[in-house]
């Protein structure tokens, strides 16, 4: 009986994220990355929880442990929930914030030298262009080959200052003979259609500011392990948001994913309403497709699984999500069960979740499913960690004010915890 507490279904893995068992509050390591792919083939994850149940708190806990174990993080944020977390690591983070009428400083056409123009780079750039001007069409192999031929010719014949405007001007200037010179059949690339649609993004087009040529800023994130793209000001404009996601993807491909041996996570936060925009949902799905080639994972945070539209794109995202976190939901778990094909055992575990936010030792409980394995765990952290994970409210505002006074987030958190004993 003395050894009973060490013989439960809360068995630690050799490595992973630390949670607590709900019986004795003993720390438990759960391997949600699964390098050997013994339990899951895709390590993408989703967090589901209504407002006020602690989904951002849980996300911060997962991301911090990943980061401190050497995983590179990219957070695409529409709610501003990760600034404090990032500033705990002043030497390692970069925040690129969208401001109305300005661009992010990402130029997908930028190359530092001719060695940058690899076959893979041309492939990525051709996909980017097709997403912009033919997002509603299924692209054929012949069309893909055509745009890559044109891109290669552009880089050979244009010297420096590469940009979307420059590429557009190049096609416009040589439109009469371009296809014949490159032996491209007119059915494979419609120059008139291209110039008409892309005119919105160049010159005096309404979205030209997104691609204004200038210094490429992607170098700022090349050596950073924690990158936050704050798109709060653009969250209600589906066209700009969709373009931003495409631009961010090109920056990630050129910097973060260059080293395929390096682990990385891309997190989409506060995207509930925007996922109803078809072009935004498709942009998110494209990240899921691209991540398969990398040593990485994608995470999404939603209040409810119903915020994912009931279509084939959402179904594809859910099929490629094999790590599920769910916090307490007083409205029930029927939709979660139905769309994720959860078992009766899973459902009973979900219904057993209980939180304690008022006691001397506050904790939240969560259901975690890794492949076919599932259990309920607790999350209880020291007061300093609790302060670090806060994302809103008066306490968070007090910490941020202290940070502004002396520019050190760790000191601000320690000062706050001493004052609130």
User: From its phi and psi, is residue 220 left (phi > 0), alpha (psi between -120 and 50) or beta?
Assistant: alpha
Give the predicted TM-score (pTM) of the model.
Answer: 0.85
In a domain? residue 216: no
Residues 6+ apart with CB under 8 A from 174: 181
- Predicted confidence at residue 293, as pLDDT, reads 74
More reliable by pLDDT, 117 or 195? 195
The DSSP code for 1 is -
Whether 309 has a pLDDT exceeding 90, the answer reads no
Establish if 6 belongs to a structural domain.
no
Give the residue from 350, 365, 380 where a domain finishes: 380
pLDDT at 5: 54
Regarding whether 98 and 46 lie in a shared domain, the answer is yes
Location of structure tokens 């769309």: 339
Do 244 and 363 lie in one domain? The reply is: yes
Shared-domain flag, residues 229 and 96: yes
In a domain, 305, yes or no: yes
> What was the pLDDT predicted at 6?
54
Mean pLDDT of 205-209: 90
Domain boundary among 141, 176, 211: 211
Query: If you ran DSSP here, which 8-state letter would residue 177 be given?
Result: T
Reply yes or no on whether the pLDDT at 341 is more than 60: yes
Is 241 among the domain residues?
A: yes
pLDDT, position 250: 81
d(CA 333, CA 347): 7
**Are residues 277 and 309 located together in one domain of the fold?**
yes
pLDDT of residue 280: 78
Residue 219 pLDDT class (50, 70, 90 cuts): low
Label residue 172 by pLDDT band (50, 70, 90). very high
The SS3 assignment for 265 reads strand
Backbone angles phi, psi at 336, to 5 degrees: -60, -45
Mean pLDDT of 330-355: 93
State yes or no: pLDDT of 185 exceeds 60.
Answer: yes
Answer yes or no: is pLDDT of 216 > 70: no
What is the distance between the alpha carbons of residues 323 and 33, in angstroms, rounded to a whole number? Answer: 9
- Strand pairing category for 323-327 and 264-269: unpaired
Please indicate, yes or no, whether residues 241 and 371 belong to a single structural domain of this protein.
yes
First to last CA, the chain: 38
Answer yes or no: do 339 and 360 share one domain. yes
pLDDT of amino acid 244:
85
Query: Per the domain annotation, does 4 fall within a domain?
Result: no
67 domain residue, yes or no: yes
Domain that holds residue 388: 382-421
99 and 227 in a single domain? The answer is yes
* Predicted confidence band of residue 3 (pLDDT cuts 50, 70, 90): low
Average pLDDT of span 49-58: 88
Of 151, 185, 211, the position where a domain reaches its end is 211
Nearest CA to 253 out of 222, 228, 284 is that of 222
Same domain as 47, residue 187: no
Can you tell me the mean pLDDT for 345-370? 90
Domain-located, residue 159: yes
- Mean pLDDT of all residues in 389-411: 89
Q: Give yes or no for residue 91 having a pLDDT over 60.
A: yes
What does the angle CA 94 – CA 97 – CA 99 come to, to the nearest 5 degrees?
160
Query: Cα separation of 168 and 177, whole Å?
Result: 15
Q: What percent of the chain has pLDDT over 90?
A: 44
- 131 and 250, same domain (yes or no): no
Asked if the structure places residue 17 within a domain, the reply is: no
What angle, 0 to 180 degrees and rounded to 10, lies between the N-to-C axes of helices 164-173 and 141-157? 100
Interval 214-227 mean pLDDT: 76
* pLDDT of 249 strictly over 80: yes
Q: What pLDDT is attached to residue 103?
A: 79
Enter the DSSP assignment of 112.
Answer: S
Query: Percentage of the chain with pLDDT > 70?
Result: 95
**Mean per-residue pLDDT over the chain, rounded:** 87
Domain count, the chain: 3
Q: How far apart are CA 10 and CA 18, in angstroms?
A: 12
């Amino acid at each position: 009986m003395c050894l009973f507490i060490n013989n439960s279904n809360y068995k630690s893995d050799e490595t992973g994220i630390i949670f607590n068992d709900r019986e004795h509050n003993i720390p438990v390591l759960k391997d949600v990355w699964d390098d050997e792919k013994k339990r899951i083939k895709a390590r993408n994850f989703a967090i589901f929880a209504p407002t006020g149940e602690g989904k951002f708190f849980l996300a911060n806990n997962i991301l911090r442990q990943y980061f401190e174990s050497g995983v590179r993080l990219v957070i695409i944020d529409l709610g501003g929930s990760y600034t404090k977390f990032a500033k705990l690591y002043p030497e390692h983070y970069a925040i690129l914030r969208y401001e109305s009428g300005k661009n992010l400083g990402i130029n997908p056409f930028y190359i530092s030298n001719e060695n940058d123009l690899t076959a893979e780079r041309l492939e990525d750039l051709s996909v980017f262009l097709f997403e912009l001007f033919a997002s509603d069409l299924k692209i054929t192999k012949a069309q893909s080959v055509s745009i890559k031929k044109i891109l290669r010719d552009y880089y050979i014949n244009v010297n420096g200052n590469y940009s979307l405007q420059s590429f557009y001007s190049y096609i416009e200037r040589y439109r009469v003979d371009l296809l014949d010179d490159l032996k491209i059949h007119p059915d494979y690339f419609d120059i008139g259609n291209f110039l008409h649609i892309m005119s919105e993004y160049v010159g005096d087009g309404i979205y030209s500011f997104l691609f204004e040529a200038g210094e490429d800023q992607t170098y700022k994130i090349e050596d950073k392990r924690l990158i936050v793209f704050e798109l709060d000001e653009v969250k209600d404009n589906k066209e700009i948001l969709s373009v931003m996601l495409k631009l961010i993807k090109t920056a990630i491909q050129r910097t973060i994913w260059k080293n395929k041996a390096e682990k990385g996570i891309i997190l989409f936060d506060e995207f509930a309403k925007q996922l109803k925009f078809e072009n935004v949902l498709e942009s998110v799905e494209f990240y899921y497709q691209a991540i398969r080639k990398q040593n990485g994972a994608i995470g999404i945070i939603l209040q409810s699984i119903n915020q994912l539209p009931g279509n084939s794109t959402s179904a594809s995202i859910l099929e490629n999500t094999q790590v599920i976190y769910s916090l307490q939901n007083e409205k029930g778990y029927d939709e979660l069960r139905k769309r994720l094909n959860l078992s009766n055992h899973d459902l009973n575990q979900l219904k057993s979740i209980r939180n304690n936010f008022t006691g001397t030792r506050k904790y939240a409980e969560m259901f975690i499913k890794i492949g076919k394995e599932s259990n309920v765990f607790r999350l209880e952290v020291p007061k300093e960690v609790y302060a670090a994970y806060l994302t809103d409210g008066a306490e968070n505002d007090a910490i941020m004010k202290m940070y502004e006074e002396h520019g050190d987030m760790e000191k601000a958190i320690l000062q706050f915890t001493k004052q609130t004993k």
